[in-house]
Amino acid sequence: MAYEITEASLDIFKQKKIPSEVIKLLRKLSGQDFDKESEIIDALKQSIGEDKTKQYKKIILSCIRKNYAVLYKKLSRTHINTWHKAFEDNLGEQARLRRCASPEEVLLQPSFHRLQQYFPYENALALAVIAGLLAQIKTSTAYPFAQQLGQEKDHSGKAIFSELRFQQLLASRDINELYEHCRRAIMQLNRTANIYSLADGILHWSQEQQDNNQFNQRPEQRFKFTWAKAYFNEVLTYSK
């Protein structure tokens, strides 16, 4: 579990009718990442005071929780960001990754091995998928990847990524299918997606493939469930 106040969170605070003067103070905490609930609560007390923290704590926490199955440590997400930002100075490497048609081709690229140095114990093919997909992304957004796929397209009443294609993504039988489905999704998002959420989802999927029993006792923690929940909860906001 991680906590972060983003622009999206601030918008939700307005919808929840949190006073503008409180939101103004909360904005000062945006961009910071808190690994523990106690850390964000302490920061809230310092920012808006103990009384308002007590009054709005439940709403605020429900809006800023970010669930990560694998990348729950701030350092892991920092590594992802550092790796991705390196493309700003090396567009050639990014272009080579974008042209890779499969995870196996990604394995042969130098930028993949730079990513693997950050995550030496993760499955190599899963990291290759992450490298290939993140290279497609121009801008990272605050919305979880699956939620973004469910967002409404141009006031059409339909999701950006259709339910059929989303279900096909969830039903990916192997790493190559997952790679293709996610790459198609990124294109439909105009190369704007949450790099942390996407990377975490790929690692989550990979770990489940390696250990089918890992999440059996908590179905709500499985990859398919967490992504489906994010997607359909978003769809339900405009399709009721």
- Look at the pTM and tell me if it is higher than 0.85: no
**What pLDDT score does 43 carry?**
93
Each residue's pLDDT tens digit, 105-115? 999 999 999 99
Q: At residue 184, what is the residue type?
A: R
pLDDT confidence of residue 24: 92
Type and span of the H or E element at 66: strand 65-66
What pLDDT was estimated at residue 36? Answer: 81
d(CA 7, CA 10): 5
Domain ranges of the chain: 2-66, 74-239
pLDDT at res. 162: 96
pLDDT at 217: 56
- C-alpha closest to that of 69 among 172, 206, 235: 206
pLDDT at 222: 86
Interatomic CA distance for residues 183 and 68, integer angstroms: 21
pLDDT at 212: 59
How far apart CA 166 and CA 170 sit, in angstroms, is: 6
Fold topology of 74-239? Peroxidase; domain 1 (1.10.520)
Q: How does pLDDT run across 123-173, given as a tens digit for each residue?
A: 999 999 999 999 999 999 878 899 999 999 998 999 999 999 999 999 999
pLDDT at 216 (0 to 100): 56
**Residue ranges in the chain modelled with pLDDT below 50:** none
The per-residue b/e assignment along 207-220, b for 16 or more CB within 10 angstroms, e otherwise, is bbbeeeeebeeeee
Provide the pLDDT for residue 240: 66
How confident is the model at residue 141, as a pLDDT? Answer: 87
